[in-house]
């Protein structure tokens, strides 16, 4: 019989806010046809403007906001790697 030993290490996870973190981005996706705006860094207004233009052109009126937020996992305090 083969035995495996797994070592569990506690980790914590938090939003990555260091200078080298990827930017937070906002995009908008049309719920009717699936078309998506580009991702815009930090501000939601450009994504909202895209949705308004899309609504004016297509009459599609339901949208979902797609927020991309970087997170970072690190070993918990006192845990060895
Ligand atoms: Zn659409």
Q: Where along the chain do its domains lie?
A: 23-71
> Which residues fall inside 5 Å of ion ligand 1, going by CB?
30, 32-33, 35, 58, 60
1 burial via Cβ count (<10 Å: 0-12, 13-18, 19+):
exposed
* 41 has pLDDT over 80: yes
Distance 22 CA to ligand 1 centre (A): 28
* 80 has pLDDT over 60: no
Distance 66 CA to ligand 1 centre (A): 15
What is the pTM assigned to this prediction? 0.73
Band of residue 7 on the pLDDT scale cut at 50, 70, 90: confident
Say if CB 3 and CB 57 are below 8 A apart.
no
Distance 30 CA to ligand 1 centre (A): 5
Say if CB 3 and CB 69 are below 8 A apart.
no
* 81 has pLDDT over 60: no
């Amino acid at each position: 019989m083969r035995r495996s030993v797994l070592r569990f290490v506690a980790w914590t996870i938090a939003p990555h806010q260091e200078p080298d973190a990827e930017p937070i981005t906002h995009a908008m996706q049309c719920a009717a046809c699936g078309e998506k705006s580009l991702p815009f860094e930090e501000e939601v207004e450009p994504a909202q403007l895209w949705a308004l233009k899309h609504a004016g052109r297509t009459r599609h009126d339901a949208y979902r906001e797609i927020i991309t937020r970087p997170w970072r996992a690190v070993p918990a305090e006192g845990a060895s790697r």
